Amino acid sequence: MIEKNHDYELTIEDYGNDGEGIGRIGDFVVFVKDAAKGDRAIVRITKVKKSYAYGRLMELMTPSPDRAEPSCPHAKVCGGCSLMHISYEKQLEWKQNKVEQALLRIGGIANIKELMEPIVACDGKGLHYRNKAQFPVGCDKDGDITIGFYAGRSHRIIDTDSCLLQPAHFDEIIGACRVFFETHHIKPYDEEKGSGLVRHIVIREGRNTGQIMVTFVLNGDGFGRRVAGKDQTDGPLFSEEQALIDHLRSVKGIRSIIINTNKEKTNRILGFQNRVLWGSDVIEDTIGDVRFAIGPMSFYQVNPSQTKRMYEKALAYANLTGGETVWDLYCGIGTISLFLAKKAGKVYGVEIVEEAIEDAKRNAALNNIQNAEFYVGKSEEILPEKHQNEGVSADVIVVDPPRKGCDAKLLETILSIAPKRVVYVSCDPATLARDVRILTEGGYELQKACAFDNFGQTGHVETVVSLRRSLEKG
């Protein structure tokens, strides 16, 4: 029986779902953060469960040949880059295998290696690809402002001046905010007490337009001096807000400064109220030849170059000839829908988030796309209603669900409507494989699959698969 806080020597044999190393002590599986396949290491056990344990890497006896020196000094403590200690080539190899094994073992696709295309690598070997970053703001034990990222599995802020997953000008913006907060004595939010003002800074960029939005998430309605414990509100701007505008406008590319109000004691980053402090309420970006308006609440893929490649693959898998009726379920702000509309006869997008559908309609108008319609609601309710009551067909269905995968009722709906093709865009190989099994058992064949490294240096991988209705099923 292994014991907590004891050290053991073991060999890392494989990787877990999030890229953590896996070793064994007898029959016990041990998950070890920052370990690489092939490491021989001393590991200290930190938590013991019934048949597995967690350990901390204490000493490398024999390093794995897969190892790489992390290019970020915060890689071991920050919760972001869980794979930076592994060479980028091996990261890709692991992600390709992760998708293949899920589709084989969970999805039951015996010939998956024949059907998988090579994984599509991230530009720059997985560095500087993000167009969005969320920075928590707090204080250290000395009362100094900290701005950075949370340590893994905690809300302890790692104070950082830069992040290698983001463009360098994000660092310039955070540096400017830090100076402003210190100069004007702006208090960071204290999670435990619920006091203080600034909770997060969210930066978004239209990578292909260069337009930047900076959103300040506040435990209040705006920046201002404290008067008798209350914000001074007797003017169009709080007292420090014009100074903040003047301070940030000098940063190239900033088109929008937003105040987001979140006064609740919650882990949710953004509140539901936004106020334009300066500039526009949206920024714009392009994916291919489609233009998108992006607000502070909009869902928009964080790796624009990979997103373009992924959507082009989804479009190729849809195999549109110009007259098809396509349903895009979990459509978000219409990113895939508008790509599809360029080649389809008619596209219907469905999304449960009302604000996202408003964005989708705005984006359709922005691109003068008139063959796309969008509905607010559950896909498993909207699709059969339109099919049964209005006779709307579905030649192709595209789904891009959250990590939990498709709703079971939606999968039943897809099988009952029986489109010729289903294109599944997934951010989780396990739930993708589960849903693929349901669809293949219901009369579909998996034709092709392709993984995309949209999140280099992390354990996440995106996948696009093409399914075709079997001929014998009609």
Residues with catalytic annotation?
427
Q: Give dist(CA 451, CA 435) in Å, integer.
A: 16
Question: Can you tell me whether residue 63 is helix, strand or coil?
Answer: coil
* Contact predicate 200/181, CB 8 Å: no
Residues in CB range of 408: below 8 A, 6 or more apart: 438
Q: Give dist(CA 440, CA 310) in Å, integer.
A: 23
Q: Are strands 254-261 and 211-218 parallel, antiparallel or unpaired?
A: parallel
Tell me phi and psi for residue 421, to 5 degrees: -135, 145
Q: Are strands 40-48 and 52-62 parallel, antiparallel or unpaired?
A: antiparallel
Torsional sign, CA 90, 151, 18, 55: positive
Q: Are strands 396-399 and 346-351 parallel, antiparallel or unpaired?
A: unpaired
Q: Are strands 372-376 and 226-227 parallel, antiparallel or unpaired?
A: unpaired
Our measurement of the distance from residue 199's CA atom to the centroid of its chain's CA atoms, rounded to an integer in Å, reads: 20
Torsional sign, CA 350, 356, 362, 364: negative
Give the CA dihedral 165, 167, 171, 172, nearest 10 degrees. 180
Identify the CA nearest to 198 among candidates 169, 227, 218, 221: 218
For residue 119 the two structure tokens come to 């994984």
Hunting for tokens 């955070």 — which residue is that? 174
Residues in CB range of 361: below 8 A, 6 or more apart: 334, 374
- Which run of H or E residues covers position 66? none
Which amino acid makes up residue 464?
V
